[in-house]
Structure 1
């Protein structure tokens, strides 16, 4: 049983949910802030993609080595996600968010000023370590303040706002790169980090009261991690989300090759790939939020997976029969993103609800598993496939099959 730490006066004042009831929806302004926090990581991943070749030329390194600036970011991003949730369970959500944003902003400035490729790689690592705080803790904040269909709605709205980041980022990054050079991209990331830091400091209340916090004790924390890690249903749900989302990772890790070499477009044309992807996710998220109270969770998941299967098969079929070209090469990706957005909020709520007393820790581990799979696919699988549109399509289908198997096994365990 978890031991809780009681404080007479917490570091930051606790603000109760609207109407002082936990099952009330999170305020719209807070939802927007939480969605902004989830954008920090995607912006750091996607905004500099059009600058890959320029960074390699500037530092006289190969494209494969420049790819490691993405891999290092993703692996460090995933690693510290393991701990953000449990730290917020002990010290509150707000101080951990503010600390991570401050470090992220400083690291972004360091990347903008990097005198060598080694320094750029180091600052990207620090960026990754800091960028995951908001992504993890925002989910815990939602579950602190909402439950059931309302939590699904808030997560769907967050996903909808979050979806704007990968759509805007590479387009903005391409224009920044062409106009001001690749270093301007990292100055933009620093400015966004500072904006979120100021916004959270002024407008994001604490959602976890001192009476609900757990003691920061290594033995107790290790026991709680072990409790979560040995729960097969939680792990299957987390992996099902991660491998389904890894279809994004495969194309994001291959973005420079896919857009410039396979599709034959310019550095300012990344919108051809990202706008359909994120449009599908945004529309799917909006629909998921709208019907969350009307559709049973199992049906929502089934419909989402059915749409993804159709999209993945269409992607494989098109790229087998034809040479990849816009718009046909990206339309299946839009449909896949739509199905993913329908299924993900419900799967996330089901995973976090396995451990209602350790939501921060559960959010950490779920995010860690998702990002670890994303990093593995982006950093190791994508370079093996990114010369061929057909191979990329087959990779997405393989990940989806694994996701479906995990989701079905998790459902069977719930019934048992």
Structure 2
């Protein structure tokens, strides 16, 4: 009897030890990097599709006999669909997996680009830009879901930085590529270019991207369902007999994707604060981007190729922020853990229910926020007063660096506070920011014509400052609200 008790105790101890050492993710560091790199490439098209389009606006207007305002409407409709589509694809990727949604969205995007390159009507331009947006806009939200799948909280900042580096290179490269193509080959070749590179990305996803959704494959050790293994390389997903809670998928009822599910996240105070803080910054970001080509062509008398080049400082600033802010976010995490006497679990990942993640992620956000406000206002008045071209270009670099640093902090925090549905959480935020940005861009040219460039961007600078108020609120009450919300879900 005594031996049986000892044996039972030994087995129980071994079981507990086994469960306690289950990895957060079975993917190696190298494999995590290539997974994040691949989804960053897919998400890159979401941003690239906007920025590659801007320098060609005057040419499209001339070729299709449209006003600038009419062509700008194609930007507004693109953003409007970008606000809605991720609510469906994000929720679907949390339920059914990342792979099938990437294959669907990239396939739809490829078709839209091919048809856009061949059409010649205003309504065709509007409808196909909407289809293009419906296909690719969800890639951004799904990518953040992938980062949450494979990266522990203590290392997540660096992976978010790597993800956003791919995405934020679009503001630098997109206008340059778009300006060069439209200047030499015509605006239609912009869409042929997107067709070629997105087709290559779709092929890479088919062959190389494993399923990572924790609701489907747990920590990556379980074999995905047949629909997610389609065209997957043999052996790309490990199969194991481990049955602990860490390796088995989260119990989730399979249902049809519901766009309202992600929107209901906005009813929680902590999610709403983070979403609107990011939305105010994103609206400013989009208005700067959408106005650059027209402002500089008209005021500084630039051609299409030169108009593409003026986006470089802004894009380089964004890309630099992606590199530096990821390390900063991870450093703040370690500092906050040390201040609260908490150890960092580098095997299973930390339990954020007892960790002040809001304090950690927003620890270093206020300095770049102040820089964002000042640089946005300064940009508006530099253009208003027709300062030497170098002045607004330098200010663009500074504003891109500062705004993107704030973006990375809010995007990382958003998936941290929604571990069960990270892609849906990103989609809910996407709805808010794209809706506000679409409205702002739709009226941007009229506002500039009425009150001038300086006052317009003074308004947007003040809008950025509202994000600071929400950051303070989130730091003070966010953890309390988060725990209350998770208790009832």
TM-score by length of 2: 0.75
Is the 1:250–1:392 contact (alpha carbons within 8 Å) kept by the matching residues of 2?
Answer: no
Is the 1:77–1:371 contact (alpha carbons within 8 Å) kept by the matching residues of 2?
Answer: yes
Matched, 1:162 2:167: yes
Counterparts of 1:226 and 1:312 in 2: how far apart (Å)? 30
In the other structure, the counterpart of 1:360 is 423
Q: Quick check: which has more Rg, 1 or 2?
A: 2
| Secondary structure of 1:212's aligned partner | coil
| Secondary structure of 2:277's aligned partner | helix
User: C-alpha deviations, 1:39-97, integer Å up to 9, x for none?
Assistant: 11122111122221221222222111111111111111221111111111111111011
Matched, 1:309 2:370: no
User: C-alpha deviations, 1:7-54, integer Å up to 9, x for none?
Assistant: xxxxxxxxxxxx953397562222221211221112211112222122
Alpha-carbon offset, residue 392 of structure 1: 4.1
In the other structure, the counterpart of 2:76 is 71
Q: CA RMSD in A?
A: 2.4
Matched, 1:59 2:64: yes
2:405 to 342, 348, 361: 342
Alpha-carbon offset, residue 120 of structure 1: 1.9
Could you tell me which runs of 5 or more consecutive residues in structure 1 were left unpaired when the two chains were aligned: 1-18
| Secondary structure of 2:464's aligned partner | helix
Counterparts of 1:222 and 1:79 in 2: how far apart (Å)? 8
Is the 1:250–1:382 contact (alpha carbons within 8 Å) kept by the matching residues of 2?
Answer: no
| Secondary structure of 1:214's aligned partner | coil
In the other structure, the counterpart of 2:153 is 148
Alpha-carbon offset, residue 141 of structure 1: 0.5
Counterparts of 2:462 and 2:267 in 1: how far apart (Å)? 26
In the other structure, the counterpart of 2:339 is none
In the other structure, the counterpart of 1:410 is 474
User: C-alpha deviations, 1:243-301, integer Å up to 9, x for none?
Assistant: 11222211222133112012321111124431111111112221112333323433221
In the other structure, the counterpart of 1:236 is 273
Is the 1:59–1:116 contact (alpha carbons within 8 Å) kept by the matching residues of 2?
Answer: yes
Q: Evaluate the alpha carbon distance shift between residue 198 and residue 407 of structure 1 in structure 2; reply closer, same or farther with a 3 A threshold.
A: same
1:300 to 364, 387, 390: 364
Counterparts of 2:128 and 2:297 in 1: how far apart (Å)? 27
Is the 1:312–1:397 contact (alpha carbons within 8 Å) kept by the matching residues of 2?
Answer: yes
Q: Evaluate the alpha carbon distance shift between residue 390 and residue 146 of structure 1 in structure 2; reply closer, same or farther with a 3 A threshold.
A: same
Matched, 1:21 2:85: no
Worse-superposed segment, 378-387 or 48-57: 378-387
Alpha-carbon offset, residue 408 of structure 1: 2.1
In the other structure, the counterpart of 2:461 is 397
Counterparts of 1:345 and 1:367 in 2: how far apart (Å)? 14
TM-score by length of 1: 0.88
Q: Evaluate the alpha carbon distance shift between residue 339 and residue 213 of structure 1 in structure 2; reply closer, same or farther with a 3 A threshold.
A: farther
Instruction: State the aligned residue count.
Output: 396
| Secondary structure of 1:254's aligned partner | helix
Is the 1:319–1:393 contact (alpha carbons within 8 Å) kept by the matching residues of 2?
Answer: no
In the other structure, the counterpart of 1:251 is 288
